Amino acid sequence: MDKGIFSKTFATASVDENFRVMRSLGYTCTQFNFASADLPSLPDTVARSKIEEISAAVQTQDVRIAAVSATFNMVHPQQSVIDAGMASLDVICQAAADLNCPLVTLCTGTCDAEDQWRFHPDNNTPEAWQRLCVSMTQALEIAERYQVALGIEPELANIVSSAVKARQLIDEMRSERLKVIFDPANLFEIATLSEQHRIVAHGLDLLGAEIAIAHAKDRYADGAFATAGKGLLDYPFYLQRLSASGFNGSIVTHGLDASEAGWVSTMLDQQLQKLETYSC
C-alpha cells in the first residue's frame, strides 16, 4: 500500500507547492480537490492551462493523483442543486481523465438541505433511496463517457450509511464503474473493541473486492472524529484485514491539521512496516 493525503490539508499558493509539501512529508499520492488549484471544489470549467499546471506538478514532485473530489449532495431536496452538482461532475470527470486519474469521489448525500454531512431521518425512507438511485444512474452515465470510476463512501449521516447499503447500491447499479472508498471510522461512533472489530471485518468482507482507495482517520472515545492514530481505531487490525481482503492500493489520510501530517505519515509508515512483517 502507498500513503496519500487530501490536497486541501495544505493551504498553499500553487499546486506545485502543495505537492512538494506532501512529498516532503512522505506522501506519494493525493485525493485532489480543485480548491488546491485556486478553483472552486465544484468548478464550472477547468481550463487546459490548469490541467497542464496540475500535470506538471505531478511529474515534478512525483505525486500521483489517486482520486479527484466531486462531492455534492446527490439527494438534495432541491433538484436544481443536484443538477448543478451533475454539471460539475461532468467537468471533473473530464478533468480526471485528462489527468490520468482513475477515480472521482462522491457523497451519497442526505435529505438535510443545509449540510450534506448531517443526518436526516428521511435518509432511511424508500423515497430517499430511489432518489439516490436516479442520481447515481445519471452519475454513472457521466463516468462512462469519460472512462473513469466513481467512489462512494459509507458514512453514518448519508443515505449509504453502512457497508450493507454500499453493497446494496453496487448490486442494484450493476456497474463496474461504481467503487468504494473504505473508511472504518465512518462506520461507527462509539463501539467497544470487539464491536469495532466486528464492524470493520464485516465491512471488508462485503466490500473488499470493490475498494478503490482506503481512508485513514480515527474516533475518540466520545465518538468525535480524531486524527489517524490519535484515537481508538485499531490500526493493526484494520490494515491486516484490509490487506487480507486483497487491497493493495492507496491509504489516504484526511481530517487532520497540516501540522499533524508529518506525524501521521510516520505512524502509517510504522503500521505498514508491521503489516509487511506480519504478512511474511
The full DSSP string for 124-164 is GSHHHHHHHHHHHHHHHHHHHHHT-EEEE---TTSSS-SHH
DSSP per-residue letters across 78-135: SHHHHHHHHHHHHHHHHHHHHTT--EEEEE---S-SS-TTS--GGGGSHHHHHHHHHH
Q: What percent of the chain has pLDDT over 70?
A: 99
C-beta neighbour count of 47 within 10 angstroms: 11
Query: pLDDT value at position 133?
Result: 98
C-alpha span between 87 and 89 (Å, rounded): 5
C-beta neighbour count of 29 within 10 angstroms: 23
Q: What average pLDDT does the segment 73-101 reach?
A: 97
Say what the pTM is: 0.95
Residue 280 pLDDT class (50, 70, 90 cuts)? very low
Query: pLDDT value at position 267?
Result: 97
Tens digit of each residue's pLDDT (9 = 90 or more) over 23-36: 999 999 999 999 99
Structural domain boundaries enclosing 22: 2-279
C-alpha span between 221 and 115 (Å, rounded): 25
What Å distances lie between residue 212 and 50, 55, 101, CA to CA?
26, 22, 12
Cβ-in-10-Å burial (0-12, 13-18, 19+) of 157 comes to middle
Residue 113 has pLDDT above 80, yes or no: yes
C-alpha span between 97 and 89 (Å, rounded): 12
Query: pLDDT value at position 117?
Result: 87
Number of domains in the chain: 1
Query: How far is the first Cα of the chain from the last one, in angstroms, to the nearest whole number?
Result: 15
The answer to whether the CB of 228 falls within 8 A of the CB of 267 is yes
C-alpha span between 229 and 219 (Å, rounded): 9
Q: Look over the chain and give the mean of its residue pLDDT values, rounded to a whole number.
A: 96
C-alpha span between 183 and 185 (Å, rounded): 5
Cβ-in-10-Å burial (0-12, 13-18, 19+) of 78 comes to exposed
DSSP 41: S
Note the Cα 200 to chain centre separation in Å.
Answer: 17
Tens digit of each residue's pLDDT (9 = 90 or more) over 189-217: 999 999 999 999 999 999 999 999 999 99
Name the grid cell of 244: 487480507
Query: pLDDT value at position 279?
Result: 55
Beta strands 64-73 and 250-253 are unpaired
Residue 178 has pLDDT above 80, yes or no: yes
Note the Cα 17 to chain centre separation in Å.
Answer: 22
Name the grid cell of 11: 493551504
Residue 40's CATH number: 3.20.20.150
Query: pLDDT value at position 242?
Result: 97
Q: What average pLDDT does the segment 157-184 reach?
A: 97
